[in-house]
Amino acid sequence: MLSEFEQTNLLKDFPNVELSYENIIHKTLHNPSTTLRMSTDYNQETSACKQANISLHNPPTDFVLAIPEGTKYFAWFTTYKAQNVCILLEISENKKICNIQMVSTCFHNQLSYGTIFYGTLFKHNNTSFFCAEDIFYYKGKDISRNTFVSKLELFRHIFSTEIKQLAYTPNNIVFGLPLINSSYSELITAVDLLPYQIKYIQFKYAQRSCATITNMKYNCSSVTDYNKHEYKTPPTKTPSANSIALHRKQGVQSLTYGSQHTYQNNRNNPSSYTTKQTYSTPKLDSKREIVFKVKADIQNDIYNLHLFDNNVESFHEVAYITDYKTSVMMNKLFRNIKENQNLDALEESDDEEEFQNEEIDKFVHLDREFNMVCTYNFKYRKWMPIRVASKTEQVVTKNDLNQLLRSEKNKY
């Protein structure tokens, strides 16, 4: 706990950061109307928003963000008393800093040259998350006027190589990005799967350094039953930056989990398919357990489930990773994460060769595959891996799965 004297001294060194003016649309958005949900391009979305008396800037923005419910903070990576630290500065409603605290998180020492994030602090399952909405300084350089798309690219680099998105103790803060999409309607659909509360839907331009941000209030009190629909976007625990590059290629890729990389921990903050094979018909037991062939994606906690369609291996869907225990189990099978086996590794510096290796797949075994028993999560309508299958348990076929799902139609 920092004393009032210590907080005052810290503020003397904090740069003069000018926050963007946040224009809040007081028309509350309920999740979501049929018109807005079915829209797939910005012209349609803007028209639908106008019909709902929702005022948007023209032309339509390039990115839409889901901002969590929580308290606004600056996160300042700096040096204090010869130690590299992360400091949270709480921002009051009148945009004044009202409280300062030092927190535990894992980050690269070079961020302490002077890096400042702006975002929202919230809690989920007793873990604190910092949702980074903007970055003003990076290693001492003022980047407040950089475009949003350039900041996204910088966040991608930071979350890939300079910040670890894991909490090993209840006091650790996990940093990440909000859910981001280039399609308004797709983001609203994905928001329904988030396990934390959303306060605003925010609109930003890709190539502008705009002093005004538009926030639209979000209210999920009148949510329709979206569990009746199938989604390609998996539920997310904490957002991150790994999918930013896909925006340019696909235009609609949401940000979900971040890459799992290891790097030096701050010691003062401890914290398509062609394979053919024949299988017998599996049975769906009372727990709705089925065997899929599972392969890892580069993204942390993203695993692809495969089945057999006419004896040809075929992608089915992305697995649902529901909790920390499941995440660790999957990491042990598919990823080289030394902290999973030994928490003391948090205190160890990476080997020089490991740190210099910038290959995005250096910590994931993309060549590995396991047949795994998966159980069905009715709330999110997703299959969740629970264990490696035995040799007698065989991968489901598409026909068998469809048949089983049809027979259980009323339950699904």
The more confidently predicted of residues 50 and 195 is 195
126 or 47, higher pLDDT: 126
Residue pLDDT, tens place only, 157-167: 999 899 988 88
Can you tell me the distance from the alpha carbon of 401 to that of 314, in angstroms, rounded to the nearest whole number?
A: 13
The larger pLDDT score, comparing residue 381 to residue 220, is at 381
Q: What is the DSSP letter of 299?
A: B
The mean pLDDT of 341-355, rounded to a whole number, is: 47
Could you tell me the two tokens for 160? 């890939």
pLDDT at 55 over 60: no
Q: Lowest mean pLDDT of 94-108, 157-171, 244-258, name the range.
A: 244-258
Instruction: Tell me the C-alpha distance between 136 and 14, whole Å.
Output: 12
Q: What is the pLDDT of residue 219?
A: 72
Provide the 10 A C-beta neighbour count for residue 336.
14
pLDDT of residue 381 exceeding 90, the answer is no
pLDDT tens per residue across span 263-315: 333 434 333 222 333 333 344 444 578 999 999 988 778 899 999 998 899 99
Domains of the chain: 4-250 (3.30.470.30), 289-407 (2.40.50)
Lowest mean pLDDT among 42-46, 193-197, 234-238, 403-407: 234-238
Q: Would you say 71 and 120 are in contact if contact means Cβ atoms under 8 Å apart? A: yes
Kindly report the pTM of this predicted structure. Answer: 0.51
Asked if the bond preceding 59 is cis, omega within 30° of 0, the reply is yes
CA distances from 321 to 61, 94, 303 (A): 32, 39, 8
